[in-house]
Structure 1
Amino acid sequence: MKKIHLLILKSFIRPFVVTFFIVMFVLLMLFLFKYIDDLIGKGFQWYIILELMMYASMTNVAMALPLSILLSSIMTYGSLGENYELVAIKSAGISLGRAMYPMMIVVTMLSIGAFLFSDYMLPIANFKYYSLLYDVRQQKTAFLISEGVFNNSFPGYSIRVKKKDADGQTLHDVMMYKKEENSDNLSVLFAKEGVMYRTPDDLFLVVKFKNGVQYIEEKGKNSFNPRQQFTRRRFASTEQKFDLSGFKMKRTDASEWRSTIQMMNLKQLSLSQDSVAKTLAKSTSSNMSMMAPYLKYFTMLHKAPKDGTLKPMPAVELKGKELESALPQAQSEAQSLREMLRPMAERYAEESKTVRKYSIEYQKKFTLSAACLALFLIGAPLGAIIRKGGLGLPVVVSVIFFLLYYIIATIGEKSAKEGSITPAMGMWAAIIILTPIGLFLSYKAANDSVLFDTEAYKRFFNKLFKRKAVQA
């Protein structure tokens, strides 16, 4: 390998690794900001949070990898241009295309790795991430008793504490309501103080009440006496156990998530799409036979013709009473047919949308690799043109182009889901639009273009205005 190629590779690897982890960190912070309320205060072990963050980071690779390739390629060639190293390379008789040759090999390898990741690793990461996130969000809070509010964490109980000490265990001015299920019994307890603690096996929360009174209202002991019984009991100390089994994190069955589209690889997506497409075709072909009982054979063919064309039936002229009786009958038949076709149309639309979703996810496995190549074709020549390294102008330019790619890809995906365009066209729209831009920038960079030179634009407009003034 030539020393120039080694120099360019070394100049690319460092900013690529740095920018990749920076983008991953930013996306991870966005994830934490979004789900911070579902993570804080639920008593999770540290490794549960770490595991969830790891899976969330893996799902963000599809966005972080293209952006880091774009940014690092702009920084690499921008730094080489700023330090006049590209000028030295060209003066040695090496074209920009040859200078990009090792980078193309590296980016191609990264693209192949991105495809393998999206096909093999990403479905597993999505499965682990969404299932764990669902269980985390379903978990009850660990702050069982808070100050100044009625806490209903325990079924059948409502507890209000006026004040809690700094130790989190000593309570003051406690009020507890108890309502038994399937019973009219009602118990209210007031205590000046209380202490709560967990049992050593962490299965129960014990609250010990001190210096209080308890009021219990229940039915009379004799069934023939409708009067209720009221009991007042004063105590110096009493305690109540609360079951904590409902606050333990429970994992849902893995089979509930296996059929989700994001958890499938290419083979599973293809099989599932074919299965839904066959079901859709079968239901479509059976629509004619289902419509037949609602139609008369002399006004509508009872089966579709072989050539696929429907010929108009000869018109029948009705007069008088026949016309008066035919109109209500036709209206009734049309109403019945419409009621029958409505669920069929809804089912057809839903199954068609499912087929499009499978096709969109299938195309996503390839667009990630193509996006890496397309954004590199933009980043490398763009860095050679602007000739600025570091994290200043390259960051601004890369964010603009990445937003352009992301917006086009999002609009294309949404349009494909709605059926406005084909899934292939929707998912590849951003690549189709950006690739010619990358080729154009590569051509301009290879010919030492002044595409971003403000002085060149000033000279052009000055000449243009002077020409107009002379003509005037």
Structure 2
Amino acid sequence: MKKLHKLIVISYLRPFVATFFIVSFILSMIFLSKYIDELVGKGLEWYTILQLLGYNFAVNVPLALPLAILLASIMTFGNLGEQYELVAIKASGISLSRAMVPLVFVMVLLSIAAFYFSNIIMPRSFLKMGSLLYDVRQKKAAFAIPEGVFYNDLEGYSIRVTKKDPDGKTLYDLMIYDHMQGNGNMNVVLAKKGEMFKSDDDRYLVLNLYDGVRYSENPGDNGYNDRQRQVRIRFKEYGLKFDLSGFNLSRTKEELFKDHYQMLNVRQLLVKEDSLQNLMALKQRNLDAYIEPTFLLYKPHSNYKTIKPIKNLSWKNKDVIMNILPATDRLIVVDDAINSMRNVKSYLTSAKEEATTQSEILRKHMVEFHRKFTLSFACIVLFFIGAPMGAIVRKGGLGLPVVISILFFLVFHVLSISGEKFAKQGKLEPYQGMWMATLVLVPIGIFLTYKAATDSAIFDAEKYQRFFKRLFSKKENQ
């Protein structure tokens, strides 16, 4: 019995590990292709890109793990069925459910590991990937002055070079606009030749110019005199220094991103949800306190409960209240009432928008809370779909098992994405949207497990043909 369990576990782990890493690699390449434009041309170190891919690898686990479990389950039991090993196992008195026991324990361990990963590892990976990706986006492209066009990536300067030597350091026919003072193109430097190099600490770019002239236009000494004064300075050698800090990858503090809902664990999500609910309740109380004084006619009072309503009341003189007021005060009262209602309407509009935003944030936190648990249960459910499906189709390899696993995974993924979207939009409760895919697949897993345990041929075409023939023959007789 122990040898059989060892055989089944080893047969399962091989395709599982291979599938998991293949799917993770494909998802990482998709991520790389998505952000390739923001990575290329910025002079990033190889370890920075590798670090970014490593964080993305961890983030992709919720997609790669269920697919790997499903495909490995179908392949394992499909191979056992195709090689008649399942027949031999059943002939020895061991049922399919007993043969699945060691893998059930493996699935339980994987589910526990998946929960730990979702709760601890993935939030940290999201935090580090998000902060690193933000810094990469903020980084300027690698420093390289092209020929014949103005280069504007040096802060406060615009440089045009007509020709460069192959070494990239010697420049000819330069035009440099100095915008550091923020007064437009008032300062310009022309030079026949220039040489550039970086400082020893790579923080500055030094540009030595030769045989040139510097033009600058300045306003007159008197503030009321708008005439410009032009200053022209010829030089044999002139030096400029440019700050290159914007071309370095400067890391932002991760504390700035740590409050995002994707970067919180279960305990932090519960605390955040409680804080958001208390904040929304406080906003509602403030709204009630602000609006209540404006509706004096409907102000609640304990005596209202004892007063009997008057039926069929006819109010012929509808403007009796206005008649009580002096004619000179009526317009003032009406204007005050209109202004009061406008203020209330404006306050209500602002409060509604704020409440909608707070509600959306709360739903996102609740969705993320349920996500921590759905991955673990999805691993078990997909196993109980894949294992009996492999035993039923009795096909191993990468043919039919891949097709079946992709179909089931697409159903699972579409339901998960749709449920999450509906939950964030408020069309479903967060627990309903996040558990929808799992609840839909549970009956399918139970049905397939029952059919595989009872050796029912659910893919027998002749069986369905006989069923439909009997069905149509009964209708014709009727």
Answer whether TM exceeds 0.5 for this pair.
yes
1:404 has 2:414 as partner: no
In structure 2, what is the Cα distance between the partners aligned to 1:67 and 1:343? 45
1:216 has 2:215 as partner: yes
Q: CA deviation at 1:45?
A: 2.3
Change (3 A) 1:261 1:180: closer
1:433 has 2:430 as partner: no
8 A contact 2:143–2:247 mirrored in 1: no
Which segment is superposed worse, 212-221 or 128-137?
212-221
1:382-428 deviations in whole A, cap 9, x for unaligned?
Answer: 11122221222222211111111111111111111121111111110
- Return the TM-score normalized by structure 2: 0.87
1:419 has 2:423 as partner: no
Name stretches of at least 5 consecutive residues in structure 1 with no aligned partner: none
Identical positions, percent = 46
In structure 2, what is the Cα distance between the partners aligned to 1:179 and 1:312? 80
Tell me what 2:330 maps to.
Answer: none
8 A contact 1:295–1:333 mirrored in 2: no
Tell me what 2:33 maps to.
Answer: 33
Q: CA deviation at 1:72?
A: 0.9
Match of 1:349 among 341, 347, 356: 356
Tell me what 1:17 maps to.
Answer: 17
Tell me what 1:7 maps to.
Answer: 7
SS at match of 2:76: helix
* Amino acid corresponding to residue 57 of structure 1 in structure 2: F
Tell me what 2:260 maps to.
Answer: 260
In structure 2, what is the Cα distance between the partners aligned to 1:454 and 1:135? 58
In structure 2, what is the Cα distance between the partners aligned to 1:323 and 1:393? 85
In structure 1, what is the Cα distance between the partners aligned to 2:30 and 2:303? 56
1:444 has 2:451 as partner: yes
* Amino acid corresponding to residue 217 of structure 2 in structure 1: E
Change (3 A) 1:447 1:313: same
SS at match of 1:292: helix
Change (3 A) 1:339 1:232: closer
Alignment of 1:101-140 (within 5 A): 101-140=101-140
Equivalences, count: 465
Change (3 A) 1:188 1:94: same
Change (3 A) 1:312 1:412: farther
Tell me what 1:362 maps to.
Answer: 369
Tell me what 2:154 maps to.
Answer: 154
1:44 has 2:44 as partner: yes
In structure 1, what is the Cα distance between the partners aligned to 2:4 and 2:434? 37
Tell me what 1:301 maps to.
Answer: 300
8 A contact 1:374–1:431 mirrored in 2: yes
Tell me what 2:327 maps to.
Answer: none
* Amino acid corresponding to residue 91 of structure 2 in structure 1: S
Q: CA deviation at 1:194?
A: 3.9
Tell me what 2:178 maps to.
Answer: 178
1:419-460 deviations in whole A, cap 9, x for unaligned?
Answer: 111111111000000111111111111222322344554565
Tell me what 2:380 maps to.
Answer: 373
8 A contact 2:220–2:228 mirrored in 1: no
Change (3 A) 1:107 1:341: same
- Return the TM-score normalized by structure 1: 0.88
Name stretches of at least 5 consecutive residues in structure 2 with no aligned partner: 324-332
* Amino acid corresponding to residue 62 of structure 2 in structure 1: A
CA RMSD of aligned residues (A): 3.2
Alignment of 1:60-139 (within 5 A): 60-139=60-139
In structure 1, what is the Cα distance between the partners aligned to 2:359 and 2:21? 39
SS at match of 1:391: coil
* Amino acid corresponding to residue 252 of structure 1 in structure 2: T
8 A contact 1:180–1:186 mirrored in 2: no
SS at match of 2:319: helix
Q: CA deviation at 1:52?
A: 1.4
* Amino acid corresponding to residue 26 of structure 1 in structure 2: I
Q: CA deviation at 1:161?
A: 3.0
8 A contact 1:162–1:174 mirrored in 2: yes
In structure 1, what is the Cα distance between the partners aligned to 2:109 and 2:392? 25
Tell me what 1:284 maps to.
Answer: 284
Change (3 A) 1:206 1:302: farther
In structure 2, what is the Cα distance between the partners aligned to 1:291 and 1:328? 19
In structure 1, what is the Cα distance between the partners aligned to 2:183 and 2:369? 56
